[in-house]
């Protein structure tokens, strides 16, 4: 497969997503490389002082872990200094039963002190940061309680970005909080309505991504005047079978939506074992896969890596206009392998 070079002076980055994998380590040590969490159910069984103590310990640990993740990323080649953080930096922060606990003075101090080193590491290392709230954080909804919960969760993610020095102004350092739009029945105007409920910092960090089940790329383009569009190339392919090229006029509108900030997009690949004998040298054909009995649900599932060479070359062409988050089961290993294709080492 032809390798794609990098033009001098152009910022092009490939991001790893959420979990850091190191197969050289035992399972327990590898787990320690990633953020820890708890549940509302567990905390609710504890006396308040014990629940706060539990959260203090988790926040301290997560601050150290996030610092380590960002520091690892900062040591990568420039083309790989981007990452999507897990959402559980501050465990169950946005849940109404837990949120008051974070107002405890001791816990507030720990939040501030624990995340400050990670903030410095991101700034000094030039690491682009993102977050992606879960699938139930949707603004386009006909249910008031769902919208209220979504606003609270987006504001929580904004608080994390604020502690990391990534809030204030329009997507500072390329930082963003990415969501899916929500329920189809509610419509795009419901999303706009939900957007108006957010704080200014949250609105200036929020992005919205096309998906396979409700809002495709064409559905979201009317929102380009309100917030940046994150193009998910795989989601678009699952719905349409189309391999969008960088010259597509819709991509120009996506770029405009970022208002001068370098856009970011998502890429993943269908699994290589959907049907026997899938050729890694031939682009996956959606129509042929559907005709072979593969469901849309199966097409949506992410592979371990970008295993198909012409598919990876197609994705790499999009680095001409934006950074890429690799959504694959093997996380940083998959993004590093893709980066080796896109950014070859040039011998001295």
Domain boundaries, given as residue ranges, for the chain:
14-342
**Dist. CA 273–CA 290, nearest whole Å:** 14
* Mean pLDDT on 186-201: 95
Give residue 345's pLDDT: 55
Q: Residue 135's pLDDT band (boundaries 50, 70, 90)?
A: confident
Q: What is the CATH number of domain 14-342?
A: 3.20.20.150
Residues 6+ apart with CB under 8 A from 254: 217, 221, 224, 228, 229, 231, 263, 322
Residues 6+ apart with CB under 8 A from 117: 63, 67
Q: Residue 29's pLDDT band (boundaries 50, 70, 90)?
A: confident
- List, for residues 279-298, the tens digit of each pLDDT value: 999 999 999 999 999 998 99
* Mean pLDDT on 136-141: 93
Least confident range from 9-18, 92-101, 111-120, 309-318: namely: 9-18
Tokens in use for 155? Answer: 């504001």
For residues 141 and 182, the answer to whether their CB atoms sit within 8 Å is yes
Query: How many CA atoms lie less than 13 Å away from 312 in the CB half-sphere?
Result: 26
> What pTM does this model have?
0.93
CA 286 to chain centre: 25
Residue 219: φ, ψ to 5°: -70, -35
**Dist. CA 266–CA 335, nearest whole Å:** 11
């Amino acid at each position: 497969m032809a390798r794609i070079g990098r033009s001098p002076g152009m910022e092009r980055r490939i991001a790893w997503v959420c979990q850091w994998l190191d197969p050289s380590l035992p399972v327990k040590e590898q787990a320690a490389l990633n953020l820890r969490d708890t549940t509302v159910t567990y905390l609710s069984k504890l006396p308040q002082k014990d629940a706060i103590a539990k959260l203090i310990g988790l926040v301290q640990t997560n601050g150290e872990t996030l610092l380590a993740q960002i520091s690892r990323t900062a040591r990568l080649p420039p083309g790989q200094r981007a990452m999507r953080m897990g959402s559980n930096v501050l465990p169950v922060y946005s849940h109404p039963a837990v949120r008051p606990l974070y107002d405890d003075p001791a816990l507030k101090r720990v939040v501030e002190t624990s995340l400050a080193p990670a903030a410095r590491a991101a700034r000094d290392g030039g690491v682009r940061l993102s977050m992606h709230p879960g699938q139930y954080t949707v603004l386009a909804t006909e249910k008031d309680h769902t919208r209220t919960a979504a606003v609270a969760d987006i504001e929580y993610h904004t608080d994390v970005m604020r502690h990391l020095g990534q809030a204030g102004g329009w997507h500072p350092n390329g930082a963003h909080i990415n969501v899916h739009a929500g329920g189809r029945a509610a419509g795009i105007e419901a999303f706009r309505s939900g957007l108006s409920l957010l704080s200014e910092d949250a609105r200036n960090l929020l992005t919205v991504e096309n998906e396979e089940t409700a809002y495709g790329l064409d559905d979201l383009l009317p929102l380009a005047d309100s917030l940046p569009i994150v193009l998910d190339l795989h989601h678009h392919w699952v719905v349409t079978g189309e391999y969008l090229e960088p010259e597509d006029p819709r991509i120009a509108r996506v770029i405009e939506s970022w208002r001068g900030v370098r856009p970011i997009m998502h890429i993943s690949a269908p699994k290589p074992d959907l049907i026997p004998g899938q050729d890694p040298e031939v682009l996956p054909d959606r129509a042929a896969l559907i005709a072979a009995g593969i469901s849309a649900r199966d097409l949506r599932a992410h592979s371990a890596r970008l295993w198909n060479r012409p598919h990876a070359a197609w994705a790499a062409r999009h680095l001409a206009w934006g950074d890429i988050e690799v959504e694959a089961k093997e996380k940083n290993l998959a993004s590093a392998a893709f980066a080796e294709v896109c950014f070859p080492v040039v011998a001295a």
